Structure 1
């Protein structure tokens, strides 16, 4: 026979187990979420802790930093919600439900989401209209194996959480333009994303790899661009800032490159800067073959609190300068609070004059200590969002 005291102890034990089962997971989940938030970078901390992010997607427009400023022009009462339901593509007569219809035909503010996981093979480059957001959060969207994305004479565009890879060069032909009208487009290289005379462009949390030419080109007078939280991998030429050495309009280019993960198997151009100014901060460089950051003509670069991990073999030097110009009057390559592993080194410009980004209040952000770079870039690339609430 069980005594009264023993019975009381058993009931207490059962009650304790019940409390653990029903309440501790909630406490642990909340604590875990709080800790995760502490390890997030400034952009992610702005929206990812919100469990209602799916119904409040436009919150992210207030989270951008760097030269793009805030993307509040992409939201408002006049915003059109558009869902992609059809992965097919018609470059001249886009059908309702396809990505091209939402990105090129609609001329108002449009926020594009995807009904389900999709593999989209574009027949011709996708020319994105101004005030367009392509938001792939919560599903697995690939744009791959043919033409890819072009931002041509457009402004206020967000590209978020898309896998773009195996992009191929395209012959000239007719295509729906960013103004909703069919235009003739000349031949294009096989870039994942190419900016041509574009402004206020935010490219965040995408995974880009294995393209014929480069992964990201910012060219022909494009400016006010922020490239953040992306994963660039498996690529020879990664990122080009500037059309060509003779295109002097690119002197006004301003680009922020922050919280990105470069590698494995990236060779060069992370980025290569022809003209203009780039603030490269809190990025992780997992090796390179030729160089990590290069330039030609008169670029200005502030490399700040990046982690450069040199490859076991090949070049240990982070920088490259066309024609070996290391200390020319036009060069401004500065390293501030960077960290170097495996023998990596950075050839800085003599004189010590470190040009500041001169951000406005809405563009400004705090560059954190390089010791935190590994954790701040851990979620770079397309986010693995749960089917419930977390992202």
Structure 2
């Protein structure tokens, strides 16, 4: 009888183990199917991720961008320099060959920067990224973390793709090597993951950003024609700021596309906050907020299209939008919601008297997917863990 009892116990453990394997296999299969559905509907990812030979055709990525950045084809073709980062160290004034700073500042002309292996880079001072630069982290795992982070200053035609950027800290005034091998003086720099200052035609795609001292992304001082896509923003109070301050009128010309991003968990506000300019916010997943998700001041225009807004579970603000009064008026902000899906009590207060349309040209235009597919569209948001398998 004791032997029979032992057999029964073993059989029970076997059955339990089998059930666990089946359940996890089913979840994995569902996750895989969800990712594939998203890949088919994501107009950016389906442009290059189906290519099994993407490593030999990295520059194909430049043909895949949409939104206000448009196609990034000026970054490829004749004269392109391919540079590989092999050394994670950093010297802000005398960059060493093989380091990221050397590739970004000492090499002139258009350049495509990749990484030899997995690495974590602790920048001593902010890294100034110049025009016609692609930083491409696909195929490995690259963290920029622990101190200074990225600054795109008076530059155009820039791609930042596939990086983990986190735990960035504010920096005192300093001098650093800038683009084209020129020493530049910097003032105080806030602890943002990526900051754009007077930049144009910039594409930020498939990055994972979190836990920085100030914000995760600032687009300021006349920056325009920006696409922010497929990124994962999490664990942050102030997430994304579009527009320098209420008095900086040049930001009236700012145009930004925010698409296919995953906001959350643990994000508080500014997803984005916009001043003066225009933002097309489409097909993003909002995994809760505390103060608000989308906000603005000084007469911004926002078209919120086919996003999925999941209000926080805890008692608090279920309203998505926030507006700062300007000159005593709640006023002329134009916030429109078209085809959005609201869950868990989320609500969107619309305002303004005129429709806010993006008016894209032929290189920028895309069609937002139905909001019912946002979960699958954003299933691969953030830096991709590419392998030698068929897809990245």
Fold shared per TM-score above 0.5: yes
Query: How has the CA–CA distance of structure 1 residues 249 and 331 changed in structure 2, closer, same or farther, with 3 Å as cutoff?
Result: same
Query: How has the CA–CA distance of structure 1 residues 291 and 197 changed in structure 2, closer, same or farther, with 3 Å as cutoff?
Result: same
Structure 2, gaps ≥5 residues long: 1-31
The whole-number CA distance in structure 2 between the counterparts of 1:35 and 1:244 is 41
Residue 340 of structure 2 is aligned to residue 331 of structure 1: no
Give, in angstroms, the shift of residue 179 of structure 1.
Answer: 3.4
Give, in angstroms, the shift of residue 131 of structure 1.
Answer: 0.2
Query: How has the CA–CA distance of structure 1 residues 350 and 36 changed in structure 2, closer, same or farther, with 3 Å as cutoff?
Result: closer
Give, in angstroms, the shift of residue 324 of structure 1.
Answer: 8.6
The whole-number CA distance in structure 2 between the counterparts of 1:86 and 1:349 is 51
Contact 2:311/2:345 (8 A) holds in 1: yes
SS in 1 for 2:247: coil
- Residue in structure 2 matched with residue 340 of structure 1 by the alignment: 342
SS in 2 for 1:101: helix
Structure 1, gaps ≥5 residues long: 1-30
**TM-score computed with the length of structure 2 as normaliser:** 0.89
- Residue in structure 1 matched with residue 62 of structure 2 by the alignment: 61
Give RMSD over aligned pairs: 1.9
Give, in angstroms, the shift of residue 285 of structure 1.
Answer: 0.2
Contact 2:191/2:213 (8 A) holds in 1: yes
Matching residue within 312, 315, 318 for 1:316: 318
The whole-number CA distance in structure 2 between the counterparts of 1:32 and 1:336 is 27
Residue 125 of structure 2 is aligned to residue 157 of structure 1: no
Query: How has the CA–CA distance of structure 1 residues 355 and 164 changed in structure 2, closer, same or farther, with 3 Å as cutoff?
Result: same
Q: How many pairs are equivalent?
A: 361
The whole-number CA distance in structure 1 between the counterparts of 2:328 and 2:51 is 47
Q: How does 1:1-391 map to 2 (within 5 A)?
A: 39-313=40-314, 314-323=316-325, 328-351=330-353, 353-391=354-392
Give, in angstroms, the shift of residue 34 of structure 1.
Answer: 11
Contact 2:35/2:376 (8 A) holds in 1: no
The whole-number CA distance in structure 2 between the counterparts of 1:91 and 1:186 is 15
- Residue in structure 1 matched with residue 20 of structure 2 by the alignment: none
The whole-number CA distance in structure 1 between the counterparts of 2:201 and 2:165 is 21
Query: How has the CA–CA distance of structure 1 residues 325 and 339 changed in structure 2, closer, same or farther, with 3 Å as cutoff?
Result: farther
The whole-number CA distance in structure 2 between the counterparts of 1:374 and 1:76 is 36
The whole-number CA distance in structure 2 between the counterparts of 1:251 and 1:60 is 30
Q: Which of the pair has the greater relative contact order for Cα pairs under 8 Å at 6+ separation?
A: 2
Query: How has the CA–CA distance of structure 1 residues 112 and 33 changed in structure 2, closer, same or farther, with 3 Å as cutoff?
Result: farther
SS in 1 for 2:55: coil
